[in-house]
A = this chain, B = another copy of it.
Amino acid sequence: MQDKITKILKAIADPTRREIFHALVLAATAMPITQISNQFEISRQGITKHLKTLEEAGLVQINAKGRERYCQADAQPLKEVNQWLKFYEHFWDNALGNLGSYLDSKS
């Protein structure tokens, strides 16, 4: 479909998914889908779809236990976003760009 970083960025580009992810991170424990969806306005199936997207990005791990599927946040893929961002650190301190300071840092 698409590369890893794109999947991750697309996953977190949606505000509802960021909320779900955040809730799971704070929960710090695995939660079944229904329990997650109780915390949101949208339907359980809506939540399920978002969880699938998050899972495909590696941001959520799901494992079944009996009839329930326990979902747990995994922040690790965000490292990759951080990596991507890092390159631009050199540039974001002046609005006009700063190739100079980037090149300096290389020497």
Contact = CB atoms under 8 A, between A and B. Distances in A.
Given A81-B85, A96-B72, A97-B74, A15 B3 contact: yes
A53 B31 CA distance: 36
A75 interface: yes
Interface stretch (A6-14, A32-40, A41-49, A62-70): A6-14
A77 to B, nearest CB: 8
Interface in A52-93: 61, 72-76, 78-79, 81-82, 85, 88-89, 91-93
Chain B CB count within 10 A is highest, among A6, A12, A15, for A12
Nearest to A3: B15
Interface of A: 2-3, 6, 9-10, 12-15, 25-26, 28, 61, 72-76, 78-79, 81-82, 85, 88-89, 91-93, 95-97, 99
